[in-house]
Amino acid sequence: MHPFQNNENNRNFSDPLVRHAYVEDTQNCKALWQKELDVNKGEQQLLSKRISLMKSFVNDLPSSDPQYHMLCSQIKMDQVELDELQFRENLLIQKISN
């Protein structure tokens, strides 16, 4: 199954009402952490895909192209964000397992 396919478990979190209902449906702190972990993993997947696509695109550009340096900088910034998400994931896993 493709991770980006629409199914009943995927919600449109761009809709504020869906986000609010998702959080309000939480019964306890561990459940909220689990939901944050689920969202975090989804963000990591999207960011990893974005980094991958930019890397493949930047490989086709000559280093003299102005977009080359902009994309290289964006890849580095996205990698920092991905590292932060992975760090947060580890913290959430520790909180959930305690």
Closest CA to 59 of 68, 49, 50: 68
Could you state, in order of their start, the residue ranges of all structural domains in the chain? 30-97
Mean per-residue pLDDT, 18-33? 82
Question: What is the number of residues in the chain?
Answer: 98
Could you give the CA distance from residue 90 to residue 94 in angstroms, rounded to a whole number?
6
Lowest mean pLDDT among 1-5, 39-43, 46-50, 75-79: 1-5
- Quick check: 83 pLDDT over 90? yes
Cα 43 from chain centroid? 1
Q: pTM for this structure?
A: 0.76
Question: CA triplet 46, 35, 28: central angle to 5 degrees?
Answer: 170
Residue type, 4: F
- 18, 11 contact by CB (below 8 A): yes
